[in-house]
Structure 1
Amino acid sequence: MCTVTIITPTYNRGNLLNHLYESLCQQTVKDFQWLIIDDGSQDDTREVVKGMSNAPFLLEYHYKENGGKHTALNYSHPYIKGDLVFIVDSDDTLASDAVETVLEDWQLYKSKKEIGVISYLRGRLDGSSIANSTAPDRYISTHIDYRINHNITGDMAEVIRTDVFKKYPLPVFPGERFMPEGWLWNLLSFHYKTVYRRKIIYYCEYLEGGLTKSGRKLLMNNPLGLMAHCKTFFASKTSAKAQLKEMLLYGVYGFCAHKNVGEILSGSGRIWKMLPVVPFSLALYLFWKRKYLS
């Protein structure tokens, strides 16, 4: 059995898959599985993958009806052959020694059951790091303790134990096609630690700045998933500042989901803390509704 499964959920990205494929062919170690989950593509994705039949590693392709990236990740569970899961988007690439690095680190930590994740850096095409990480190499903490409470922003490249990944499938809500993966990383903070490496093994084009109008609209149109994500910040391990921000957003997405004040308060599990926040959530919801949904 291979040790690493690289999962690529994809939707209408047939024109981009070859770039990632080439970077996988250049891996210094090829003992891995590339598991492509096609989330209902209507383009030539299937034909593009057929053209990769001579891949020097194990390649599997599975098609499902469109439901969003989170449903594609859940769908992957029975097909995973590796001990580790590495989620790589279809429009990104890996450094040539990415798999080799992961395998070497796995030998150091696989017997330490409290370690659930090894987190690497993502880099821009110019070689600079996306995340503003300041921790020393091989720093051990949790996603909430380190990233949330210390405001370490920017995407990283997380490799997770397969048994842990399968234990926490991403929530799926009827009619919604987006669920933040941050829900998973936050949830794992209550059960596992993360090793933070100061090494770039993942490259992507990265656009500076905040959410675009389409991005904010996406969040507001998937409010139940966003509410579930916000609630993972409500634990006492999270800083007061982060909790306050996420309670504000929880209320905003509650109104997006057409919930009344009572439902928002009771659903939060933090009624007395949420009570003074709800009026500000309503004001922000009305502003965003006019700006992004009109």
Structure 2
Amino acid sequence: MKLLTVFTPSYNRAYCLHQLYESMQRQTSKNFEWLIIDDGSTDNTEVLVNDWINEDLVPIRYFKQQNQGMHGAHNTAYEHMETELNVCIDSDDYLTDNAVELIESFWEEHRNDKYCGFIALDCYKNGQIIGTELPKHLKSSTLYDLYYKHGVAGDKKLVYRTSLMRENPYPLFEGEKYVGLNWKYLLLDKSNELLILHEILCVVEYMPDGSTRNMLTQYRKNPKGFAFYRVELMKLPFSSLAFRYRQAIHYISSSLISKNKNWLKEVPNKGLSILAIPLGLLLYFYISFKTRGIISQKGKINEYPMA
């Protein structure tokens, strides 16, 4: 059995998926398989991937489902994984040539059940690290502490133990396609730390149709998913008061968008949420103004405004 599953949620990305496929072929270690979750693509992704499967240059498993959004594709991926470790590589990104080898050797040296996996670096095509380096003085840390105590910034690559990632599937909300992926990662912070690998594993390109670029649109289209995410982050026992207050602001904004009249009953910290109402209102008006262009003439939000 292979050690690592590289999984890729993909929606209408046939035009750029070849970069990742080519990087798979260049890997210095073959101790992996590629799991592609086609989240309802309407382009030629299925034909393209089947051609690659027939080439038999990379071990590929392919599953197509009705569109559920990124978090729904992650749920499906975790259900079908058979390896000890997994890493998500987005459809517009690709692996460094020795990424699998680095993952394999690092885990062989440090494998321990007290760790949920490890965190490594992403870079741009020019080799520049995205955001900050990881703390040199730490062997391991929770994800929360890295970002909110040690000043880490920017996207990083997360390699997780598959058995842990199968727990707590992301919820699906009817008519919506987004729940913050960090929810599952931060849940693991309650019981496990991440090892720190000071190596680049992934080359990242932020495409115009990517979720990072379209976050305000996602915010407007998926208020129930965003509200769930913010409530769950407010429950984290290790988070700071300032962190929970920020979540309360976003929760109020999302509750206003979804017209949830029961928002105060559903929030874990009612006093903090009441204090967050003024800024939550301001954020609601800002989001409404900035995303007014995604509303069609019939008053409905376009499902894929950038596709």
Q: What's the TM-score once normalised by structure 1's chain length?
A: 0.92
Q: Which residue of 2 aligns with 1:292?
A: 291
Q: Which residue of 2 aligns with 1:183?
A: 183
Encode CA deviations 1:186-239: one digit per residue, 9 max, x unaligned: 1111121111222111001248xxx75x43021121112112222233234112
Residues 17, 90 of structure 1: 8 Å contact kept: yes
Residues 226, 253 of structure 1: 8 Å contact kept: yes
Q: Which residue of 2 aligns with 1:172?
A: 172
Counterpart of 2:12 in structure 1: which amino acid? N
Give, in whole Å, the separation in 2 of the partners of 1:232 and 1:146: 19
1:160 aligns with 2:166: no
Give, in whole Å, the separation in 2 of the partners of 1:13 and 1:40: 11
Residues 123, 200 of structure 1: 8 Å contact kept: yes
1:55 positional shift: 3.4
Residues 31, 57 of structure 1: 8 Å contact kept: no
Q: Which residue of 1 aligns with 2:129?
A: 129
Residues 79, 166 of structure 2: 8 Å contact kept: no
Residues 2, 32 of structure 1: 8 Å contact kept: yes
Q: Secondary structure at the match of 1:167?
A: coil
TM-aligned CA distance change 1:228 to 1:196, over 3 Å: farther
1:277 positional shift: 1.0
Deviant stretches of 4+, over 3 Å? none
Q: Which residue of 2 aligns with 1:205?
A: 205
Counterpart of 2:272 in structure 1: which amino acid? K
TM-aligned CA distance change 1:248 to 1:127, over 3 Å: same
Q: What percentage of residue pairs aligned between the two structures are identical?
A: 27
Q: Which residue of 2 aligns with 1:47?
A: 47
Counterpart of 2:91 in structure 1: which amino acid? S
Residues 149, 238 of structure 1: 8 Å contact kept: no
Q: Secondary structure at the match of 1:76?
A: helix
Counterpart of 2:75 in structure 1: which amino acid? N
1:134 positional shift: 4.3
TM-aligned CA distance change 1:116 to 1:49, over 3 Å: same
Q: Secondary structure at the match of 2:260?
A: coil
Give, in whole Å, the separation in 1 of the partners of 2:36 and 2:117: 21
TM-aligned CA distance change 1:137 to 1:156, over 3 Å: farther
Give, in whole Å, the separation in 1 of the partners of 2:150 and 2:253: 24
Counterpart of 2:220 in structure 1: which amino acid? M
Q: Which residue of 2 aligns with 1:35?
A: 35
Q: Which residue of 1 aligns with 2:18?
A: 18
Counterpart of 1:271 in structure 2: which amino acid? K
Q: Structure 1 stretches of 5 or more lacking a match?
A: none
Q: Which residue of 1 aligns with 2:217?
A: 217
Counterpart of 2:253 in structure 1: which amino acid? V
Paired residue total: 289
Residues 256, 285 of structure 1: 8 Å contact kept: yes
Give, in whole Å, the separation in 1 of the partners of 2:200 and 2:28: 15
1:103 aligns with 2:104: yes
1:61 positional shift: 0.8
Counterpart of 1:89 in structure 2: which amino acid? D
Q: Which residue of 2 aligns with 1:193?
A: 193
1:116 positional shift: 0.3
Q: Secondary structure at the match of 2:265?
A: helix
Worse-matched range after superposition: 19-28 or 68-77: 68-77
The alignment yields a C-alpha RMSD, in angstroms, of 2.0
Give, in whole Å, the separation in 2 of the partners of 1:166 and 1:5: 13
Residues 255, 285 of structure 1: 8 Å contact kept: yes
Q: Which residue of 2 aligns with 1:66?
A: 67
Q: Which residue of 2 aligns with 1:244?
A: 245
1:283 positional shift: 2.7
TM-aligned CA distance change 1:220 to 1:149, over 3 Å: farther
Worse-matched range after superposition: 160-169 or 214-223: 214-223
Q: What's the TM-score once normalised by structure 2's chain length?
A: 0.88
Q: Secondary structure at the match of 2:218?
A: helix
Give, in whole Å, the separation in 2 of the partners of 1:191 and 1:129: 29
Q: Which residue of 2 aligns with 1:265?
A: 264
Q: Which residue of 2 aligns with 1:117?
A: 117
Counterpart of 1:54 in structure 2: which amino acid? E
Give, in whole Å, the separation in 2 of the partners of 1:155 and 1:271: 32
Give, in whole Å, the separation in 1 of the partners of 2:97 and 2:138: 21
Residues 134, 196 of structure 2: 8 Å contact kept: no
TM-aligned CA distance change 1:204 to 1:274, over 3 Å: same
Q: Structure 2 stretches of 5 or more lacking a match?
A: 294-307
Counterpart of 1:78 in structure 2: which amino acid? E
Q: For 1:270-289, what aligned pairs fall within 5 Å after superposition? A: 270-289=269-288
Residues 223, 258 of structure 2: 8 Å contact kept: yes
